[in-house]
């Protein structure tokens, strides 16, 4: 890549304190001169599930405009790239509050150093919502995943959950079912495009405050995300919809089956449709 400020790509791992864990994201801190076609080309060259571009910045007010691109298309919001750019900015202008204007809406983030060598960032999502998923769409997705209805947890019904993007939520009945992910890439991508789903958020409930997750992302040209902040926020809205009195802190463990363990924390408030998502982030050397 060019070394000019407008095209320099930084690389960060989000939802981890280790460069070889979490979900890697590209970060371009000065993209004001890049058009949409160039941003897409940069994202494709980087090859991560998303690269985030700062298209306008006001360091004094700590307010920034962001756009997110996968290798194949622009997405309205990406949680792990938001954590990544928050950490990059905190390292350069100091920890504290940040405000991002994104295609999905305004996203507030709090950053702080946590003594581990990483920066901890907490984003507050746009208002979430969730609704039962259409039966035909669920059946098509299950077919592409090579799952059966019997593989699902009946206590956690399929939903379409939103936190800036739509995500199909499917809850596996066992950890083994979640671990054995071997899906038809093209078939699942076609189903997702037909329904405008950004990811399929596959979860397994170990206990009430701990879930394991996997997120196929074929519509972005990526087999799977090792950490998905946008889907985690949407999942918080899903849990709140299932139980309007739900509240508290929930841990999500993701990426283990890919060899990139990731830790996400969501905070669900029964009186607020927004969900707070927390994770660490660190630069990737080289």
Task: Give 88-102 pLDDT, tens digit per residue.
Answer: 999 999 999 999 999
Residue 218 has pLDDT above 50, yes or no: yes
Residue 283 has pLDDT above 50, yes or no: yes
* 45-81 tens-digit pLDDT: 999 999 999 999 999 999 999 999 999 999 999 999 9
Neighbours of 89 (CB within 10 A): 25
User: Model's pTM, two decimal places?
Assistant: 0.94
pLDDT value of residue 1? 39
The reply to whether 129-283 shares the fold of 10-124 is: yes
Q: What class, spelled out in words, does domain 10-124 have in CATH?
A: alpha beta
Residue from 127, 117, 163 nearest 274 by CA: 127
Determine contact, residues 119/280, Cβ cutoff 8 Å: yes
pLDDT value of residue 5? 47
% of the chain surpassing 70 pLDDT? 98
Average pLDDT rounded to a whole number, residues 150-173: 98
pLDDT value of residue 4? 43
* 139-154 tens-digit pLDDT: 999 999 999 999 999 9
What number does CATH give the domain 129-283?
A: 3.10.310.10
61 CB burial (10 A radius; 0-12, 13-18, 19+): exposed
CB neighbours of 9 closer than 8 A, spacing ≥ 6?
1, 26, 27, 28, 42, 46, 51
Q: Domain map of the chain by residue range?
A: 10-124, 129-283
Residue 135 has pLDDT above 90, yes or no: yes
Which residues partner with 97 through β-bridges? 110
CB neighbours of 128 closer than 8 A, spacing ≥ 6?
161, 162, 163, 233, 234, 236, 237, 238, 240, 273, 274, 275
CB neighbours of 129 closer than 8 A, spacing ≥ 6?
161, 162, 237, 241, 273
Cα–Cα separations (whole angstroms), residue 6 to 60, 92, 99: 20, 16, 21
What are 1's two structure tokens? 């890549």
Residue whose entry in the numeric block shows the structure tokens 């905070």: 267
Average pLDDT rounded to a whole number, residues 127-137: 98
């Amino acid at each position: 890549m060019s070394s000019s400020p407008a095209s320099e790509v930084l690389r960060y791992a989000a939802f981890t304190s280790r460069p070889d864990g979490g979900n890697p994201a590209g970060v371009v801190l000065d993209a004001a001169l890049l058009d949409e076609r160039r941003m897409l080309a940069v994202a494709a060259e980087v090859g991560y599930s998303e690269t985030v571009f700062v298209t306008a910045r006001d360091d004094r007010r700590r307010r920034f405009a962001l756009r997110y691109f996968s290798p194949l298309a622009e997405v309205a919001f990406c949680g792990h790239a938001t954590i990544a750019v928050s950490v990059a900015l905190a390292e350069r202008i100091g920890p504290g509050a940040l405000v991002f204007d994104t295609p999905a809406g305004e996203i507030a983030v709090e950053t702080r150093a946590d003594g581990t060598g990483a920066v901890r960032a907490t984003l507050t999502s746009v208002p979430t919502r969730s609704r039962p998923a259409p039966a035909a769409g669920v059946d098509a997705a299950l077919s592409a995943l090579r799952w059966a209805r019997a593989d699902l947890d009946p206590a956690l019904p399929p939903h379409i959950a939103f936190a800036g993007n739509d995500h199909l939520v499917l809850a596996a009945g066992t950890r083994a079912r979640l671990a054995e992910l071997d899906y038809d890439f093209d078939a699942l991508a076609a189903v997702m495009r037909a329904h405008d789903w950004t990811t399929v958020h596959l979860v397994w409930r170990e206990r009430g405050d701990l879930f394991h997750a996997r997120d196929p992302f074929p519509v972005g040209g990526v087999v799977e995300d090792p950490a998905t902040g946008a889907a985690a926020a949407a999942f918080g809205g899903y849990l709140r919809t299932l139980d309007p009195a739900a509240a508290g802190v929930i841990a999500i463990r993701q990426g283990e089956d890919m060899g990139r363990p990731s830790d996400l924390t969501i905070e669900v408030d029964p009186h607020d449709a927004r969900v707070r998502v927390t994770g660490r982030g660190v630069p990737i050397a080289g």
